[in-house]
Structure 1
Amino acid sequence: MRVLFLVQGEGRGHLTQALSLAQILNTAGHDVIGALVGVTEERPVPAFFSEQFKAPITPIFSPGLVYNAGTNELEPFKTTVQAIRYARPFWKSIRQVHTFIESHRPDVVVNFYEMLGGLTYALLRPSVPMVCIAHQYLSFHPDFPFPRRRWFDRLVFKVNSRLTALGATELLALSFDKQANVPTQRLRVVPPLLRQEVTQRKPVTEPFLLAYVTQAGLKVELEKAHQKHPDVRIEGFHGGVKHPDEPVDATLTYHAINGKRFLDFMERCTAIVTTAGFESVCEALYLGKPALMIPQPNHYEQACNALDGQRAGVGIAADRFELDQLLAYLPTHNPAVSERFRAWHAQGYYMFLGALHRVVMKNTTSTGGFFWPRLTRLLRS
């Protein structure tokens, strides 16, 4: 198979999932011909992706989410205004995506939650089938847990997810555990995509907590918890740290953000305190580390992730750094949850290859082999 990726460049999650699927496809002897990555001037293609992704990368403008610079809260209204403001360049990007697909003729396009994909297939109808992959598509499952009394946020979340998947042949919903497929939604539940850098590690347990601190308010809460429990060792990764290691005292140290070092600490910690990003929670679960999941303020998607993670036994969902709650939870955590997760993850290799192969064969059969696509291109020219 010749596969083209279309990847949302917001954050690390979808990019690392694309790296993971590329590893699976390359191992199986398939060809990933490239990746179209949604970017802005302020958010270029991250170095970790461009350094590890082996195929050509094409940045394409796609307006992202807007966060408050001071509190790191998601601002839905400003995000909507920005999307309207950039309507004309966004349309240009849609045409670029369509042209790229039709000129390179992959067998299948894999869309990692990039809205450009859904809108391109809705408006311009490329002749190549598209498969969409994201944890967010699990929100279409009847058993998915949503936060209470936030009906408007729920509506916006599901509409946004629909827009990314317009015209898709199948939706592959990444899940913490095995659940029933939903054929009426074109939805198949599949294991998470994790990097080999995670799955090849051999976790041990040392007596310290690992904290990923992206919010200014969370840093304040962490230090209050530290004052209350000075005997609990905490290793915190924080974006404002200028040096690799900045000790505060004997049991609290801040570290500069570094992906490899963070995994090194995660491999050894007792438990992790993190935002409820799906990718980081899955990595903690694979390594057998209970998680205190604290969604970013106003980030509905992460609030859903935290509830779903709590349902699956990953750890506990919280609105703030509740160290007492985490310490009370640790003795009750069931290690078998991680064992089941690793077994579930191991099924992913064949499930992803099978899904893509099924879509390609279905498209080939419905178009009469390669004759009709070639005839269609001839008539269009």
Structure 2
Amino acid sequence: MRVLFLVQGEGRGHLTQALSLAQILTIAGHEVVGALVGVTAERSVPAFFSEKFSAPITPIFSPGLVYNAGTNELEPTRTTIRAIRSIRPFWRSLKQVRDHIETKRPDVVVNFYEMLGGLTYAFLRPSVPMICIAHQYFAFHSNFQRPKGQWFYRQAFKFNTRLTCFGAKELLALSFDKQADEPSQRIRVVPPLLRQEITAMKPTSGDFLLAYVTQPGLKIELAKAHQEHPAVSMHGFHSGVSVPDEVTDETLTYHAIDGKRFLEFMARCKAIVTTAGFESVCEAAYLGKPALMIPQPNHFEQSCNAIDGQRAGVGVAADRFDLDKLLSYLPQYDSQVSERFRAWHAQGYFLFLAALNRATTPKSKSSGGFFLTRVRHLLRS
């Protein structure tokens, strides 16, 4: 089977999921013929992906999300304005995606939450079947956990998610745990896609807390938490640190961002403090590390992840760096959660291959013909 990837280049989650599926397909004897990666003028294809992805990579312009430079808050209004202003180059990108698919002629296209994929299939109708993979598709599941209120952000999130999956035969919804499929919504619930670098690790029980600090405000909160609990050993990876190790005192050390080194620390820590990105929380769960999940401000998806992760028992949700909340949660953490998570993850190899086989079966019908029907449901709660 020949497979072409379409990957959203925002953040690292969808890119690492693509790397993981490529590993599964290679083991199964299939061929990944390439990846189309959505980029912007400010954001190119990350080195960690280009260095490890063995097939050809084609960067294609795709409007990205806009964050506040000072607070790192997601700004929906500016994101929408940016997308409207980019309509002409965006249309060129759609035609580029269509032409690439028709030239490569893969057996199936796998879309990792890239809007270019859904809109190309909506308007230009490539002849190759497509399936979509992302945790975000769980938003259409009846057991979806969401925060109260935030109506505007919820509608914007679901609208954007719909735009990524027009024409898809199936939506593979990545989930913390096993849930029933919902064929009426085209949803198949599947395990998280984790890199072999994670699954090959042998975690140990450490005595320190690990923090991944991406927001300026979180570093201030970390320093405050350290002052209140000076005896608690903490290590923080922060984008503002330029040296490998910046020792503050005996129990607090900052480190420059380094993906490989961060994973090594994660395997040895007692617990992790992070934003509520699905990928990072799943990595911690696989290694048996409870997480304090702090969603980025205005980031509806991460707010949902935090609630759902708390439901699944992988950690506790908070709206700030609440060290007291994490420390009180640790004695309640069930170590069996990680074992169940690993067992669920192990089913992924067969579930993903089965989905690809279904997509390429001639009798399977594409949902592309239902475009107008789906449009009427875009803003449905």
Whether the TM-score (by the shorter chain) exceeds 0.5 is: yes
User: Which residues of 2 match residues 1-381 of structure 1 at below 5 A?
Assistant: 1-362=1-362
Deviation sequence 1:265-304 (CA, Å, 0-9, x none): 0000000000000000000000000000001111111111
Distance 1:351 1:276 in 2: 25
TM superposition shift of 1:41: 1.5
Unaligned runs of 5+ in 2: 367-381
Equivalent pairs, count: 366
Deviation sequence 1:312-338 (CA, Å, 0-9, x none): 001101000110110000000001111
TM-score after normalising by structure 2: 0.95
Deviation sequence 1:24-56 (CA, Å, 0-9, x none): 000000000000000012100000000000000
TM superposition shift of 1:168: 0.3
Q: Which residue of 2 aligns with 1:377?
A: none
Report the secondary structure of 2:292's partner residue.
strand
Question: Equivalent pairs: percent with the same residue?
Answer: 74
Distance 1:324 1:318 in 2: 11
TM superposition shift of 1:192: 0.3
Distance 1:41 1:83 in 2: 13
Report the secondary structure of 2:249's partner residue.
coil
Distance 2:184 2:155 in 1: 19
Distance 1:68 1:160 in 2: 20
TM-score after normalising by structure 1: 0.95
Report the secondary structure of 1:325's partner residue.
helix
Distance 2:67 2:260 in 1: 26
Distance 2:277 2:332 in 1: 23
Distance 2:170 2:2 in 1: 17
Distance 2:110 2:365 in 1: 19
Deviation sequence 1:320-361 (CA, Å, 0-9, x none): 011011000000000111100000000000000011011112
Distance 1:41 1:54 in 2: 24
Deviation sequence 1:63-100 (CA, Å, 0-9, x none): 10001111111110000000000000000000000000
Could you list the runs of 4 or more consecutive aligned residues of structure 1 that deviate by over 2 angstroms after TM superposition? none
* Distance 1:14-1:366 versus aligned 2 partners, 3 A rule: closer
Deviation sequence 1:232-257 (CA, Å, 0-9, x none): 00000000001011011110000000
Q: Which residue of 2 aligns with 1:378?
A: none
Q: Which residue of 1 aligns with 2:374?
A: none
Amino acid at match of 1:195: R
Distance 2:362 2:193 in 1: 24
Deviation sequence 1:137-160 (CA, Å, 0-9, x none): 000001111110111211111111
Amino acid at match of 1:355: A
CA RMSD, Structure 1 to Structure 2 (Å): 1.0
Distance 1:92 1:355 in 2: 30
* Distance 1:366-1:235 versus aligned 2 partners, 3 A rule: closer
Distance 1:143 1:130 in 2: 25
Indicate if the aligned counterparts of 2:169 and 2:365 stay in contact, CA closer than 8 A. Answer: no
Report the secondary structure of 1:255's partner residue.
strand
TM superposition shift of 1:366: 6.7
TM superposition shift of 1:362: 3.3
Amino acid at match of 2:141: H
Q: Which residue of 1 aligns with 2:375?
A: none
Higher relative contact order (CA 8 A, sep 6+): 2
Indicate if the aligned counterparts of 2:153 and 2:298 stay in contact, CA closer than 8 A. Answer: no
Amino acid at match of 1:168: A
Deviation sequence 1:210-237 (CA, Å, 0-9, x none): 0000111111111100000000000000
Distance 2:171 2:298 in 1: 26
Report the secondary structure of 2:58's partner residue.
strand
Indicate if the aligned counterparts of 2:5 and 2:32 stay in contact, CA closer than 8 A. Answer: yes
Distance 1:317 1:166 in 2: 32
